[in-house]
Amino acid sequence: MFDVNKAIEAQENYTSEKKLPHFAPSSGVCYKCRQQIYAPIERGTYTSGITVERAGSKFVTGCPHCNYSYCD
C-alpha cells in the first residue's frame, strides 16, 4: 500500500526503534530527482516507490526512483 504520510511516519518510527540515522528526506521528496519516494511510479514492467510496509521494516538509504544514495 502506498500512502506518503503513513510511510514517512513508518520510516521515522523504524529508524527511531532501531536507533538508526534517518537518511530519507523528511518530506519524502528525493534530493536529486525531486520525486516523492513514498509514491508509486510505473516503470513499464514494475513500479518503483516505497510502500508503507517497506518503510516500516527496511532502512531507507536511497531513492527507489533514481537510485541516488542518501548516505554517501
Within-domain flag for 34 = yes
Within-domain flag for 61 = no
Within-domain flag for 68 = no
- Across the chain, which has 72 residues, the per-10-residue mean pLDDT values are 98 98 97 98 95 98 97 88
SS3 23: coil
Within-domain flag for 39 = yes
* Grid cell digits, residue 3: 500512502
Within-domain flag for 33 = yes
Contacts for 11 with CB less than 8 Å, ≥ 6 apart: 22, 24, 50, 55, 56, 60
Within-domain flag for 30 = yes
Global pTM value: 0.92
Within-domain flag for 66 = no
Structural domain range at position 30: 4-55
pLDDT of amino acid 55: 98
Count up the domains in the chain and report the number.
1
Within-domain flag for 60 = no
Query: For the residues of 31-72, what is the DSSP string, one character each?
Result: TTT--BTTS-EE-SS-EES--HHHHTTS---B-TTT--BS--
pLDDT of amino acid 72: 84
